[in-house]
Structure 1
Amino acid sequence: MQGLHQASELPHLRRQKILLLLERDGKVMASELGQHFAVSEDTIRRDLAELAQAGLLQRVHGGALPRPKDTGKDYLTRIAEPNEVKTRLAQLAAQRVEEGQIVLFDSGTTTLQIAQSLPSGLSITAVTCSPMIAMTLAEHPGITVILAGGKLNPATMASGGHEALRLIQGVKADLLFTGVCAIHPEMGITSVHYDEVAVKQAMLDSASHVVAVTTADKLGAVEPFVVAPCTRLQTMITERFVPSDVIEAYRRMGVEVVQADV
């Protein structure tokens, strides 16, 4: 219980643990959480209120339930639809790849478009957990493709688990294109899927230069599971029409922000 008591001194850690308990149990009660974290029920109610305001759970009398399931389009549907903004961002990102590099490709529809945007004749070693990205890169005769194995997550169409982690941890990459569900100056990079957090963190640890490619709607957003602070990024590529104060928040942390002409 000592670790849980320590979490009471760090509200953001306590709220993260609340989300983990919610995912595990399917519901949480304020009275039980107060005992669990050795804090008052009023403190827990404030935690739940802030998490609900951020859209991370659904408040009910006496506690909270998971937020309603995302009814958005699935991965395969999204990659089949044209998106001019993502295409342009991916093209800019692909220009960052240099001959002979070892490049990590995180999962996601945007990183898939980066793979599709690489020029023919390029010679690199590519490492990914995404079978779809691996198949795209395999069309390039000069690209050596290493696919990390493991259990396939149908929501992300990427592999995970111990096998994937061991392979990623053994790589020293020049460049990483990291997938972004949400990115916030204070909360950092966050993900919808708990299962992919460890793989994303391993990729960040294995790369010399990290590039995040994100549409404007993901800036300032927060998802339930924290991957890493924004300071782990070297470069962020995003849309042109983003308020300057939003961009400056990332630049103050040392992140190079490149805005596309879309």
Structure 2
Amino acid sequence: MTDYDAFPEQRQALIEQMLLDTGRVVGADAARKLGVSEHTIRRDLQELARKGLCKKVYGGAVSQFKQADNFEIRVLQNVQEKTDVARRCAQLIRPDSCIFIDSGSTYLAMVEFIPADLELTIVTNCPQIAAALCRRTNGELILLGGKMNVHTGSVLGSEPLNQIRDMLFDQTFIGVCGLDPQAGLSAVYYEDACFKKEVLKQSNEVIAAVIADKMPQVARYKVASCEEIDIVVVSRDTHTDAFAHTSLQIEVAE
């Protein structure tokens, strides 16, 4: 039997494999599995984080966040998974409500599944989503104005923030860069994180569409804890065991 306490390189290679397999390592679990102390695992995670192979979080680490492509490229990626998740999200929309749809390639796909006869007020900060919705004749469509961010595909800055503060949403479909049971929902860009936080303050129900490669993941800026999100919609191939102890309601798209 290998004495992993005496072979740090082998131990760290195994920890790295755990990160690749599940996206997350819990320090106490790894210590038991490898027969070493939690202090040793913390040192290993520190070394792996220094090499850019993971990001330390409370109690362990998650795999290093993968920088997303810009909006136009993301639209062409994971198309079937996004379509399945988008369809389930659309089924959660309540009639005669005011909803906010955040920028995101999954939410752009969701537009095609919103029933044409559903009476809705739809607010978005994504020009592409607004363009896809402009054929609707029932209800209202509001596109927030401001400076365009080509990476997020959304309008951000002080102008949309001020507009949002005068609105109240029955449901919000919030964009997700990363979702982790401890770190919660996070975003890559500071302006985007600030905007999302303001939207959540104005929302009665928060729904997050999350494809498999975004959970568990931690981006740079925290947006909300898991307790602040009501429903997470995932594909059937997404591993959600790490979120079992949270208050999240997880809907699996079929």
Equivalent pair of 2:89/2:110 in contact (CA under 8 Å): yes
Show CA shifts across 1:28-83 (max 9, x none). Answer: xxxxxxxxxxxxxxxxxx69946944359xxxxxxxxxx9994x643213324571
After TM superposition, the structure 1 = structure 2 runs for residues 35-46 of structure 1, keeping only pairs within 5 Å, are none
**How much does 1:196 deviate?**
0.5
2:225 corresponds to 1:232: no
The separation in 2 between residues aligned to 1:215 and 1:254, in whole angstroms, is 19
Q: What is the aligned length?
A: 202
Residue identity matched to 1:179: G
Structure 1 contact 122–140 (Cα < 8 Å) conserved: no
Q: Name the CA distance, whole Å, in 2 between partners of 1:68 and 1:114.
A: 25
**2:142 alignment counterpart:** 146
CA change 1:193–1:175 in 2 (3 A) is same
Counterpart-to-counterpart distance in 2, 1:55 and 1:177: 27
State the alpha-carbon separation in 2 of the partners of residues 120 and 86 from structure 1: 21
Which stretches in structure 2 are left out of the alignment for 5+ residues?
1-45, 57-63
The answer (yes or no) to whether the contact 1:204–1:210 under 8 Å persists in 2 is yes
Q: Distance in 1 between matches of 2:164 and 2:47?
A: 35
* CA distance, structure 1, for counterparts of residue 65 and residue 186 of structure 2: 18
The answer to whether the 8 Å contact 1:89/1:213 transfers is: yes
The structure 1 residue matched to 2:162, chosen from 150, 163, 166, is: 166
> Aligned letter for 1:152?
M
Matched letter for residue 118 of structure 1: I
The aligned residue for residue 37 of structure 1 is none
Describe the shift of the 1:135–1:51 C-alpha distance in structure 2 as closer, same or farther (beyond 3 A).
Answer: farther
The one-character-per-residue Cα deviations of 1:181-224 (angstroms, maximum 9, x if unpaired) are 10000111111111211110011111100000111111111111
Q: Say what the alpha-carbon RMSD is for the aligned residues.
A: 2.5
Is 1:260 aligned to 2:253, yes or no?
Answer: yes
Q: Does residue 54 of structure 2 align to residue 54 of structure 1?
A: yes
Residue 223 in structure 1 maps to residue 219 in structure 2: yes
Paired with 1:104 and 1:185, the residues of 2 have a C-alpha distance of 24
- Distance in 1 between residues matched to 2:241 and 2:77, nearest whole Å: 31
Alignment CA distance shift 1:84-1:121 (3 Å): same
**Runs of 5+ unmatched residues, structure 1:** 1-45, 57-66
Whole-Å separation in 1 of the counterparts to 2:87 and 2:65: 35
Matched, 1:92 2:88: yes
Separation of aligned partners in 2, 1:149 and 1:183 = 28
Matches within 5 A, 1:70-219: 70=67, 73-80=69-76, 83-219=79-215
- With normalisation by structure 1, the TM-score equals 0.71
Structure 1 residues 160 and 47: alpha-carbon distance in aligned structure 2, compared to 1, 3 A threshold: farther
Distance 1:68 1:219 in 2: 10
Distance 1:47 1:205 in 2: 38
Structure 1 residues 217 and 172: CA distance shift in structure 2, 3 A: same
**Could you tell me how far 1:156 is from its partner in structure 2?**
1.1
Alignment-mate amino acid for residue 209 of structure 1: E
Identity percentage over the alignment? 28
CA 68–204 in structure 1, closer or farther in 2 if over 3 Å, else same: closer
Separation in structure 2 between the aligned mates of residue 143 and residue 196 of structure 1, nearest angstrom: 27
Q: Quick one: structure 1 residues 140 and 82, their matched pair in 2 at CA, closer, same or farther if it must change by over 3 Å? A: farther
